[in-house]
């Protein structure tokens, strides 16, 4: 599995048009989807750097719900103070002992960490031949790792059978990740991450509807 550091390189490559993907994506829609999964994974995997904020600030949306969410996050990034965003990230996802939001599938589905959902995710990653490597030491049910996996499945970075992205999404993200993004978006003490949570919730809703149509 790609580390968040490599995802940040991918973000820069996608923004500049430079080659950076190990395999070409199927079409422009899949390119956008993989990019959004990568961006959300990077934002929740680690507090953003100045470079990431600059990339986000330079992005543009449209009048669709997803486009408006992208524009809102771009506006927050354009006026963001790096130290304040870092504090938001720490309070939300790290905290003293535990953050206000616990970004793990096991916690959202069972109320505890390192439970059966983690074992199921590990089984599917092994079946797909995907190994967790890189800069994160969190268990594989951390949402950033699951979003990274979706980016790889959607974009074709991983050599898997057709339809594995829908299976992975419906098993390991759809049952809970919308609630996580709702919690992020509802946090009254954040501004940048409220916008990130709104983008995540909007995007996940669109993905769920699209996969339902394909079923």
pLDDT in tens, the chain (215 residues): 333 333 344 444 434 443 333 344 457 899 899 999 999 999 999 999 999 999 999 988 889 999 999 999 999 999 899 999 999 999 999 999 899 999 999 999 999 999 999 999 999 999 999 987 655 678 999 999 999 999 999 999 998 999 999 999 999 999 999 999 999 999 999 999 999 999 999 999 999 999 999 86
User: Where are the domains positioned within the chain?
Assistant: 4-214
State the chain's maximal CA–CA distance in angstroms: 44
**CATH number belonging to domain 4-214:** 1.10.3480.10
Cβ-proximal residues to 142 (8 Å cutoff; 6+ apart), any chain: 45, 103, 104, 136
If you search the block for the tokens 């002992």, which residue do you land on? 97
The DSSP code sequence of 56-84 is: HHT----SSHHHHHHHHHHHHHHT--HHH
Query: Whole-prediction pTM value?
Result: 0.86
């Amino acid at each position: 599995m790609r580390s968040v550091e490599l995802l940040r390189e991918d973000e820069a490559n996608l923004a500049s048009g430079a080659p950076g993907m190990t395999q070409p994506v199927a079409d422009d829609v899949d390119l956008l989807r993989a990019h959004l999964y990568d961006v959300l994974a990077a934002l929740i995997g680690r507090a953003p750097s100045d470079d990431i904020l600059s990339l986000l600030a330079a992005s543009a949306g449209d009048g669709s719900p997803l486009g408006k969410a992208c524009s809102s996050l771009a506006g927050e990034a354009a006026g963001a103070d790096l130290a304040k965003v870092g504090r938001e990230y720490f309070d939300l996802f790290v905290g003293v002992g535990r953050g206000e939001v616990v970004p793990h599938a096991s916690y959202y589905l069972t109320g505890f960490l390192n439970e059966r959902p983690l074992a199921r995710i590990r089984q599917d990653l092994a079946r797909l031949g995907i190994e967790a490597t890189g800069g994160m030491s969190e268990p594989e049910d951390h949402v950033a790792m699951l979003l990274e996996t979706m980016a790889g499945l959607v974009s074709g970075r991983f050599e898997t059978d057709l339809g594995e992205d829908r299976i992975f999404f419906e098993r390991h993200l759809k049952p809970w990740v919308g609630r996580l993004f709702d919690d992020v978006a509802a946090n009254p003490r954040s501004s940048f991450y409220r916008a990130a949570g709104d983008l995540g919730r909007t995007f996940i809703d669109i993905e769920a509807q699209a996969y339902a149509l394909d079923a």
